[in-house]
Amino acid sequence: MKIAVIGTGYVGLVSGTCFSEFGHEVICVDKDVKKIENLKKGIVPIFEPGLDTMVVRNAEAGRLDFTTDLAEAMDGAAAVFIAVGTPSRRGDGHADLSYVMAAVDEIAALIKSYTVVVTKSTVPVGTGREIKARLSAKLSTDMFDVASNPEFLREGAAIEDFMRPDRVVCGVENERAQGVLKELYRPLFLNETPVIFTSRETAEVVKYAANAFLATKISFINEMADLCERVGADVQEVAKGIGLDKRIGSKFLHAGPGYGGSCFPKDTRALVRSADDAGVDLKIVRAVVDVNEERKRAMAAKVIGGCGGSVAGKKIAVLGLTFKPNTDDMRESPSLDILPALQKAGAEIHAFDPKGMEEAKHLLPGVHFANDPYETMIGADALVIVTEWNQFRALDLGRVKDLMKSPVMIDLRNIYGRADLASHGFHYTGIGR
Ligand code: UDX
């Protein structure tokens, strides 16, 4: 089956490439000429484990191609996926649908035979209906259907998540569109992945509800971490103690500096806004957003506390800048709140991140960037772990201590244990312990 995918950002590129891996013929479209030229040469613009080799393999097999010409991509395509960005609109937190609607207008002019128009981008409930109305103004309704097929990909594990998902959700209005999506996802039926067909509105809500629920788990355990710190309990053991209850589940209960990334912050805000518009006050989700915003700010205070109440004139080593490991993505990373707050309090910051520094250089003025973890620590008054990259889990603590001016560690991801660090002579501050 031939499909077109509009937008070669994170979602579009991973989805398009994985559909070609399923054996479909995929053409990915983007307006960015340079990006398309690079992709044609096998140069992938983002860091995602396994993606570059999969792009090259499928391109060489003739199943995956890239173009700036939507007409070429849509020629003979059974479905066109919209995977353009839906950033937070400045000021009001609503999802900005201008890229989506611009794509819809271009699609409208190019549909020559029956095509399923599928939203892959995260769009507020009701967007599918709006797209249908927009297309109907220009096309006869038997020429197209509009479906919602949200993605649930984690950065750093996106290929695995696409090829072996917990579930696939398809929001469709009729059997005809359902047939096209069934054919596209047929390889997953073989390994018995649940593929849920439901209404378009339901699919749109599933996506936001899933992200809001996961964000809720994180804000919840972060609040428990604050409580644990006050009463002398250990949040990691609390997480284990509750997580073994199958109704709760053990995943997504790591206390930390607050969630970041391209999805949770934006989607929770957009959900609150679109529910507001529908006359529903989502009090829980609103609280989740507030707790997370406050948390990112509170982390700077925690570092200052761990440094004995002041960081003025101190040199702070920071390990990890991205919002989580195995990505180069800096979007809404807690580091973007924590580091400037420390600088404002008078600290000099030396940081290292395995993949995020290129991007971080534009976002964190005044921060010194090191070539490896140990370089940040030379003469440092404190070491702060912001992101739990694997390479930070097994630091040579003797060497760290020798390099630092004073052996102080503030571990915002709990990758070390207090007893272990104390035995190496460190003053250790973790989260919720
Ligand atoms: C998320 C969803 O997992 C995915 O299904 C959706 O489609 C897009 O958003 P992603 O943003 O790649 O994926 O990251 P994820 O691994 O979910 O982590 C998000 C943030 O939550 C990170 O900042 C992470 O550090 C934080 N987090 C996660 C915690 O603080 N504690 C946890 O227990 C889990």
Residue 255 is part of a domain; what is its CATH number? 3.40.50.720
Within-domain flag for 217: no
What pLDDT is stored for residue 20 in this prediction? 98
What pLDDT is stored for residue 91 in this prediction? 81
Does residue 228 have an active-site annotation?
no
Looking at ligand 1, which residue's alpha carbon is closest to its atom 26?
259
Q: Identify whether residues 267 and 409 lie together within a single domain.
A: yes
Within-domain flag for 93: yes
How far apart, in whole angstroms, are the C-alpha atoms of residue 77 and residue 27?
A: 9
How far apart, in whole angstroms, are the C-alpha atoms of residue 286 and residue 282?
A: 6
Q: Identify whether residues 12 and 124 lie together within a single domain.
A: yes
Q: Identify whether residues 291 and 368 lie together within a single domain.
A: yes
Ligand 1, residue 264: give the atom nearest the CA: 9
Does residue 93 line the site of ligand 1, with CB under 6 A?
no
What pLDDT is stored for residue 218 in this prediction? 98
ipTM of the complex: 0.95
Helix (H, G, I), strand (E, B) or coil at 263: coil
What pLDDT is stored for residue 373 in this prediction? 98
Q: Identify whether residues 124 and 183 lie together within a single domain.
A: yes
How far apart, in whole angstroms, are the C-alpha atoms of residue 25 and residue 72?
A: 13
Looking at ligand 1, which residue's alpha carbon is closest to its atom 7?
152
Name residue 195's beta-bridge partners.
168
What pLDDT is stored for residue 88 in this prediction? 85
Mutate-to-test residue for ligand 1 from 18, 153, 242, 259, highest number of ligand atoms within 8 A of CB: 259
Domain boundary among 176, 198, 220: 198
Mutate-to-test residue for ligand 1 from 155, 263, 431, highest number of ligand atoms within 8 A of CB: 263
Looking at ligand 1, which residue's alpha carbon is closest to its atom 8?
263
- Give the domain range for residue 373: 234-433
Ligand 1 mean position to 154 CA, how many Å?
7
Does residue 154 line the site of ligand 1, with CB under 6 A?
yes
Ligand 1 mean position to 113 CA, how many Å?
39
Within-domain flag for 219: no
Does residue 170 line the site of ligand 1, with CB under 6 A?
no
Torsion over CA: 354, 396, 415, 308 (sign): negative
Sequence-distant contacts of 232-241: CB under 8 A, at least 24 apart: 233/432, 234/432, 234/433, 235/414, 235/431, 235/432, 235/433, 236/414, 236/432, 236/433, 238/432
What pLDDT is stored for residue 94 in this prediction? 87
Name residue 429's beta-bridge partners.
410
Q: Identify whether residues 323 and 256 lie together within a single domain.
A: yes
Picking from 4, 271, 259, the residue whose alpha carbon sits closest to that of residue 118 is: 4
Domain boundary among 178, 198, 218: 198
Ligand 1 mean position to 259 CA, how many Å?
7
Does residue 324 line the site of ligand 1, with CB under 6 A?
yes
Q: Identify whether residues 10 and 154 lie together within a single domain.
A: yes
Within-domain flag for 113: yes
Backbone angles phi, psi at 226, to 5 degrees: -60, -40
Domain boundary among 145, 170, 198: 198
Within-domain flag for 242: yes
Within-domain flag for 222: no
Within-domain flag for 245: yes
Helix (H, G, I), strand (E, B) or coil at 74: helix
Q: Identify whether residues 193 and 238 lie together within a single domain.
A: no
Within-domain flag for 177: yes
pLDDT in tens, the chain (433 residues): 999 999 999 999 999 999 999 999 999 999 999 999 999 999 999 989 999 999 999 999 999 999 999 999 999 999 999 999 998 888 888 889 999 999 999 999 999 999 999 999 999 999 999 999 999 999 999 999 999 999 999 999 999 999 999 999 999 999 999 999 999 999 999 889 999 999 999 999 999 999 999 999 999 999 999 999 999 999 999 999 999 999 999 999 999 999 999 999 999 999 999 999 999 999 999 999 999 999 999 999 999 999 999 999 999 999 999 999 999 999 999 999 999 999 999 999 999 999 999 999 999 999 999 999 999 999 999 999 999 999 999 999 999 999 999 999 999 999 999 999 999 999 999 999 9
Number of structural domains in the chain: 2
pTM of the model: 0.94
Does the annotation list 155 as a binding residue? yes
Strand order in 348-352's β-sheet? 368-369, 348-352, 315-319, 382-385, 408-411, 427-429
Looking at ligand 1, which residue's alpha carbon is closest to its atom 27?
259
Picking from 347, 336, 433, 343, the residue whose alpha carbon sits closest to that of residue 386 is: 336
